[in-house]
Amino acid sequence: MGRNFSSASERISQIEDDFTGVCKVLAGRSRWQEFIAPNIGPALKKYPGRTFNIVSAQTFGQRGGLDAETQGLTDKVKPEIVFVEIFEHGGQTLMVYALHEMVHWVSHPPEQGHGLTTWPVLEGGLIEGLTQVVTEDIFEAQSISQYWKAIYSERVAIVRKLIERFGIQPFGEALFRGQYQSLKPLLDVYGGQGMQQIKTLAKANNSRKAIECIDNLNRAFDARPKRGAAHGGR
């Protein structure tokens, strides 16, 4: 049946019951469920085994783990997920990191084989922020208490600001269905240059400047004359 969770801070070990429990949470209730649910089956068919691959810090570093916020790595090309053990010689990670990487795993393409479809469009800063937003939203919807330490907090703040304007639909369609064209409303409002600035600031973990940029671009767009306004709306 899989383990039940009440907190994102719970320890995850290399047993099938933990893996099954995380997958159950991933597929469960959230505002992203309609996007995630169809990807669960194809993604799990490509998952190598029914446990989490948790390795030492040394091995994790050799696999590409570089910074303190990166506690797991998803390679959709190989495909594989690797976690660094949080507790020395414990072979354990935390629920929050396990779910975050599983959101990556079910992102488009769920069948794996090549990188995230939306990576060239959103790039790493916004991708990680969006993935963590989905992770946190799942916890909230299922009354699982959030992890005490904010993860990718700067990037999360930027993505939540964008969702405030555009809703989750374009982001869900892009991240989980590979329909990056759904992000066109962002380009309509911010333009290519504005979007690149937002992505650069997200990568730099600068939410203050990114949100300031978004607010300025929103105001400029909203102040534009609407089509037909010069002719009395006819």
Q: How much is the pLDDT for 233? A: 46
Q: How much is the pLDDT for 32? A: 98
Q: How much is the pLDDT for 232? A: 47
Q: How much is the pLDDT for 68? A: 66
23-50 pLDDT, tens per residue? 999 999 999 999 999 999 999 999 998 9
| pTM, rounded to two decimals | 0.94
Dist CA 106 CA 151 (whole Å): 20
Is residue 185 reached through a cis peptide bond, with omega within 30 degrees of 0 on the bond before it? no
Q: How much is the pLDDT for 6? A: 98
Contact 175, 107 (CB under 8 A): yes
Contact 185, 194 (CB under 8 A): no
Is residue 48 reached through a cis peptide bond, with omega within 30 degrees of 0 on the bond before it? no
Q: How much is the pLDDT for 9? A: 96
Dist CA 135 CA 100 (whole Å): 6
Contact 184, 178 (CB under 8 A): no
For residue 145, the 8-state DSSP code is: B
Q: Enumerate the β-bridge partners of residue 82.
A: 73
Q: How much is the pLDDT for 61? A: 80
Q: How much is the pLDDT for 22? A: 98
Q: Which of 51, 65, 151 is nearest to 102 (CA)?
A: 51
Q: How much is the pLDDT for 234? A: 41
For the chain, which residues score pLDDT lower than 50? 232-234
Contact 104, 115 (CB under 8 A): no
Share of the chain above pLDDT 90, in %: 83
Dist CA 19 CA 189 (whole Å): 41
153: three-class secondary structure by DSSP: helix
Unique residue bearing structure tokens 């993935």: 131
